[in-house]
A and B are shown apart, each in its own frame.
Chain A
């Protein structure tokens, strides 16, 4: 008992220190975002919150002049939301259908095609970004949500996970559905999709966060301020801070950072519940 008490104490100390280590930067960013820029400039980063929370956050959310001058944080949040949701939902739908084709239909070259898709896992966006840009530009999709989302939604990772999942679904379910008069489409919608809810939630979480945090692609794709995502917005705010010899607007940059991190956290928290519930309830 004596020893296990000590062990539990040391375990907790390590965990608490680790948590502090992770949380501290976020806390400092938050605390610093609630001071005036003059105060912050004179005194450096702050541990204790100041009294300008509503002032700073209100301005950055609703006042165009507070950022670069032509777009509010609210608009940028909306853009990021569109990108994140479009990216995640698009990826889930495309990869579910691709995996369905690969697992359930015997067509020629199914295996080679799967490996081709799988091999694209090795090619990150950065490798194909120039040709992708070229294609999107030629299609006239620059500065549009479509151009922002569409080239990114093909997903080898998603296809792979759904493939593995479908392969674990017993064949008898397919056979029972065939005897029940369900065609391929009905089987997919009525049986496979409901069974995949857990998987969908998991992929959605991952993909939403990835989509939300996209930086390079939106940066290339958008020249119109109205289409800036919040991740780009942070960078733009920093840039504009130094222009004109003013005191840098650190509090607003911090406020933007905090706001940028809230939606992914919410998505993870909300869908995590569904994800776990799905894990507990689903039985094949």
Chain B
């Protein structure tokens, strides 16, 4: 159990590329933090810096008030789970889990106790004598987690551990990881590019983009009040709709490119160029009013429980997605009138992308 602190952490590679631009982060004892972002955003690099597999250019990383910048990975009291499991193929699952303990000089009895215990927790008892290749993907990932658990580390690090699994297994393992972490209460940092994983697992979400932490907060806070247009587009599925517009003189509404007016209750300067963000689930079909959007249906996707309707809007053919409960049928070219509650409209600055 421990806290994990990152203070102004930066990473610049030898050839000059700056992968991480000054990240500050405090992860509380027992907290489950998720780093999420598109590929190349630096989330894995950051995790590997915490693990000690990458050096830190400037700043400090400390685990339980001990600065670990120059401490070897093995001595940081952390354990990591890799995307491709990274199990030693020639060793039995038991030996895989025991290897780290063996290297640290634990007694055979203690090693056996810990491995058996982890085996029980992860339902691997019958598989301990087999080799990793005799297991399915999910089982292998459980062994990899077992290898982390037996160490009883201060911090767990997960590097996209579910990316190699099929969709159904991913959901099961997600629950298992959440369960396990709550049961053990170990501080964890989890890297993923999958926003559903991020939303469901995180106590705290760190949305990264281009080596910068765009927003840090609880998943629901981030969903409800994304700090930037990037975060708004990244969190939530399907993505938030973005339409460009301009705030009217009396600040009561925003004028979209084709002249459509949407009512606002934001406190925003008049005549300001903004990006209007509306989540697909916050749009509904209505009769034409003074604050509604008229759009043409392009494609409909029926998922059974819900229907996704892809529409185009205005002279610039801006794309809008609508998410509806239940099954609906529309033909391409149908005109729909959409409405959103002003409270659920997000405004972003057109130049900086920051939330207004």
Contact = CB atoms under 8 A, between A and B. Distances in A.
Do A and B belong to a common assembly?
yes
B52 to A, nearest CB: 8
Contact of A186 (B52, B78, B103, B133): B103
A282 B90 CA distance: 8
B74 A170 contact: no
A277 interface: no
Contacts of B103: 180-182, 186
A178 B82 CA distance: 13
Interface string A153-178: 00000000000000000101101111
Contacts of A190: 88, 99
Interface in B59-105: 72-75, 78-80, 82-84, 86-91, 99-100, 103-104
Contacts of B83: 172
A282 B89 contact: yes
A243 interface: no
B196 interface: no
B121 interface: no
Contacts of B91: 194
A173 B86 contact: yes
Contacts of A283: 89, 133
A58 B83 CA distance: 64
Contacts of B79: 179
B325 to A, nearest CB: 43
A20 interface: no
A180 B100 contact: yes
B53 interface: yes
B51 interface: yes
A247 to B, nearest CB: 59
A194 B88 CA distance: 10
B146 to A, nearest CB: 13
B100 A175 contact: no
A175 B88 CA distance: 11
Most buried by A among B52, B78, B103, B133: B103
Contacts of A175: 51, 53, 73, 80, 82, 86
Given A181-B100, A182-B99, A176 B86 contact: yes
Interface size range on B against A: 20 to 34
A191 B88 contact: yes
A179 B53 CA distance: 9
Q: Main secondary structure on chain A at its contact with chain B? A: helix
Contact of A181 (B74, B82, B87, B133): B74
A128 interface: no
A181 to B, nearest CB: 4
Contact of B78 (A173, A179, A284): A179
A283 B135 CA distance: 12
Interface string A215-247: 000000000000000000000000000000000
B87 to A, nearest CB: 8
A191 B102 CA distance: 14
Contacts of B104: 181
A8 to B, nearest CB: 37
A181 B82 CA distance: 16
Contact of B74 (A172, A173, A180): A180
B204 to A, nearest CB: 24
Given A179-B100, A181-B100, A172 B73 contact: no
> 4 closest pairs, A vs B, by CB?
A180-B100, A172-B86, A181-B74, A181-B103
Interface of A: 170, 172-173, 175-182, 186, 190-191, 194-195, 282-284
Given A182-B74, A182-B99, 18 more contacts: A173-B88, A175-B51, A175-B80, A175-B82, A176-B80, A176-B87, A180-B99, A180-B100, A182-B103, A186-B103, A190-B88, A190-B99, A194-B91, A195-B89, A282-B89, A282-B90, A283-B89, A284-B89
Interface of B: 51-53, 72-75, 78-80, 82-84, 86-91, 99-100, 103-104, 133, 147
27 contacts: A170-B86, A172-B86, A173-B86, A173-B88, A175-B51, A175-B82, A175-B86, A176-B80, A176-B82, A176-B87, A176-B147, A177-B99, A178-B72, A178-B74, A179-B73, A179-B80, A180-B74, A180-B147, A181-B103, A181-B104, A182-B103, A186-B103, A191-B88, A191-B90, A194-B91, A195-B90, A283-B89
